[in-house]
Amino acid sequence: MENLVKTEIFLISLLALFLTETVGAFVLSFLVRHPTVSQILLRSSQVSIFILIFLGIEKNTASLGLTLKQIVPGLKSGVIWSLLFGMAVFFVSALLFFIGKIPPDFLRLRFPQQAVSEIFLLLTLRGIVGPVAEEVFFRGILYGFLRRWGFFPALFLSSFLFVFAHQSGGFPQIVGAVLFAAAYETEKNLMVPITIHVLGNIALFLLSPMFVR
């Protein structure tokens, strides 16, 4: 794989992640009273810092798999991957329905009962900013660093840490982690897993009222 992240960049990124998750989050808790807005600012800051680290050391973001030339092709490929995966989920769900099984638990989500403004903020966080930040770190940086030891070690370790980072980590996160890594490995373009992750989260968020408990 061409997108190998240098050890120096990986270690600095880990330090940046630790500082933003501790000191940065602490400072934002005082500056911004709204928790969702605070999380949006935190994740956005992390993405910006990660990109600045690559620009500062390598003068480009090629090893991150996220250059300006890759954005549009990555979006197109990501949409295709998303459609194919969505069709697979639809057919599996339909099969479970017709054989008398209930839909998979990961579709049975609780839709937020807040005001429209709060729902919009949650959609922004969970559907856009959160997935982008996660893909930049877990696939772009972590997977890109681990890939030097082979595809399967990188897939296993990055997926394990991705699932572990989610408090409610389970089957959906495992499937997602494998799918995102496979897409990145195949396309060599970070915009592909970013697009899949964003579209998947938005779809689950918007469809959740249909499967509310």
Q: Per-residue pLDDT tens for 81-134?
A: 999 999 998 888 778 767 766 555 545 555 556 667 888 999 999 999 999 999
Cβ count within 10 A of residue 175 = 15
Is 189 a member of any domain?
A: yes
Q: In this predicted model, what pLDDT tens digit does every residue of 135-149 receive, in sequence order? A: 999 999 999 999 999
pTM for the structure as a whole: 0.91
Q: Which domain holds residue 104?
A: 65-211
61 contacts 51 by C-beta, under 8 angstroms: yes
Question: Is 122 a domain residue?
Answer: yes
| pLDDT computed for residue 76 by the predictor | 98
Instruction: Pick the range with the lowest mean pLDDT from 22-26, 70-74, 108-112.
Output: 108-112
Q: Which amino acid is at 115?
A: A
Could you give the C-alpha distances from 88 to 84, 96, 107, 159, 194, in angstroms and in order? 6, 12, 14, 21, 19
pLDDT, position 99: 79
65 dihedral zone (left: phi>0; alpha: psi -120 to 50; beta)? left
Residue 196 lies in a domain: yes
Distance from C-alpha of 41 to C-alpha of 38, rounded to nearest angstrom: 5
Tokens of 168: 């409610």
| Domains contained in the chain, number | 1
Least reliable range by pLDDT among 71-80, 108-117, 171-180? 108-117
